[in-house]
Amino acid sequence: MIQHLHSEPIRTSRVVVLGGSGFLGRHLLNHLRCLGVEALGFSSAELDLTTAGAGERLAGLLRPDDALVFASCLTPDKGKDIHTVMRNLTMGEQVCAALAIRPCAHLVYLSSDAVYADPETLVREDSRCEPSSLYGLTHLTRERMIRLTAEACGMAWLVVRPTLVYGAGDTHNSYGANRFARQALNEGKIKLFGNGEEKRDHVYVGDVSRLLVMCLERRSSGILNLATGVSVSFLEVAELCVAADQKPVTLERLRRGGPITHRHFDITALARAFPTFASTPLRVGIARDYFPQKPVAA
């Protein structure tokens, strides 16, 4: 589902990251700077994309040879209502306004697998996009906004749809590895809905930044899911946290509020686009970021 406009990796002259203080933005900026790539990050305090005129201010900061990574979004923990949706869409509007004034070389939009229909249990890049949540609808709408703008301006564009992302510095405390590890460390117990039967794919935050850099170097264009291809139950994730901890941890079952659903990913497109890319095993990522006091074999 993607094509590389550079046949060989070429260092981007500068990368501008919107959402630079967020979970993924911080990791990407650190990775780029460790590689010696010039990187400029903006938080909402520095450039509030929900305000009128933000697009003009952003346009004044962009250069024609920049790669722009749009990773700024109000996630469900910040709100699930229509007001939050409209603020997120305003961000998209302002980014598109900036690019209409000052196009750059490459636009990368960090989306979510929430754009896919809930009944899609084996997800590919061409799976049905019928989001059930306002958050998923927000991302799908912004995807189309940036795609239309980029194509009108003759820019290369890429949409990356990661699944559940875990790792140090997570700001959302999302259900799964991030929440379970914190509960184990801080409370000595992990709270599961039902018996944790649902199976999901979990991708390490370091792998997200590594893959994004590879996409920037190849000026990749199109749509790409970011997952490991291995889905495990939430119970298994909790058991990995228990095994990685050095003190006793108990599992507490909570009443389930909805039906049991599973989601798996076909990562054929990812493997074809980046055949040397290897995901960090979930066991390794959890131990490395949340329980570093206990050595873990790769």
CATH architecture of 13-165+204-226: 3-Layer(aba) Sandwich (3.40)
Structure tokens at 20: 């630079």
Domain residue extents for the chain: 13-165+204-226, 167-200+230-264+273-290
Q: Please give the DSSP secondary-structure letter assigned to residue 175.
A: T
- The answer on pLDDT for 1 being more than 80 is no
Query: What single letter denotes the amino acid at residue 229?
Result: G
Q: Is there a common fold for 13-165+204-226 and 167-200+230-264+273-290?
A: no
Q: What is the CATH number of domain 167-200+230-264+273-290?
A: 3.90.25.10
Cα separation, 201 vs 285, in Å, equals 13
Condensed to tens digits (0 to 9), the pLDDT of residues 227-239 reads 999 999 999 999 9
Condensed to tens digits (0 to 9), the pLDDT of residues 159-184 reads 999 999 999 889 888 899 999 999 99
Condensed to tens digits (0 to 9), the pLDDT of residues 90-113 reads 999 999 999 999 999 999 999 999
Cα separation, 118 vs 282, in Å, equals 24
Q: How many CB atoms lie within 10 A of CB 253?
A: 12
Backbone angles phi, psi at 101, to 5 degrees: -80, -45
pTM: 0.94
